[in-house]
Amino acid sequence: MFSRLYRALFAGIGCFAIILQYALMMGDNAGKGMGELTLNFFSYFTIQTNIMVAIALAVPAFAPHSKAGQWLVRPDIRTAITLYIAVVGLVYHFLLAATWAPQGWSLLANNLLHYVMPAAFVLDWLMFSPKGRLRASDPFRWLVVVGVYGVWTLLHGAFSHWWPYWFVDVDTLGYGKAAAYFAGLLVFFLLTGWIMFGIDQLLGRTLRQRDRRRAST
């Protein structure tokens, strides 16, 4: 019951943050078309990942026995989403936070999307996701989503000359430098994925040992 309440609460917070950020983007760019702004909004990895997180929290909370609910609590799926949102928070903090200073509602939306939701979902993974069931190859499979995002960003930017983040801005950096930054980001995803795999294996082993001790007493 606690897991469902926890997930319902943060699903609501996540949805609020996404809607708030969308409203702010529409209001701050009144001179641009709504279609263009909407496409750009959903082209941020931060937004895409926060949508994943909101769905991954809401469905198991409100429909835990549905096919979608069962799929979203699979350890490999849950850990993949945890990886994406954790990297969102880390990349924002270390590469993007210093490039602007949001105020008011923008500050609230920013903190919810980049700090609160990543922390909440990592805690959800630590507390509720079964451990010890991942495979060493999983971190490689988790890169597929990131790779698809990179292809989309390149295609979108080639036509619109709009880039969601400075480190993928081909117009400014050129293809070579932008590709090098993105390759480094892929490596960071992979290393973080392996760290999470290691944590999963360690916690899984610890829980199995605890269960064996309990069974022997």
Q: Is the pLDDT of residue 208 over 70?
A: yes
* pLDDT for residue 167: 93
* pLDDT for residue 159: 93
* pLDDT for residue 75: 96
* pLDDT for residue 192: 97
DSSP state of 66: S
Range 142-145 contact pairs with CB under 8 angstroms and sequence separation of 24 or more: 142/79, 142/80, 142/83, 142/84, 142/189, 142/193, 143/186, 143/189, 143/190, 143/193, 145/80, 145/84
- 6-40: per-residue pLDDT in tens? 999 999 999 999 999 999 998 877 667 889 999 99
Q: Is the pLDDT of residue 101 over 70?
A: yes
CA distances for 19 relative to 47, 81, 95, 96, 214, angstroms = 10, 20, 24, 21, 47
Q: Which position has the higher pLDDT, 29 or 116?
A: 116
* pLDDT for residue 196: 96
* pLDDT for residue 40: 94
Tally Cβ neighbours within 10 Å of residue 120: 21
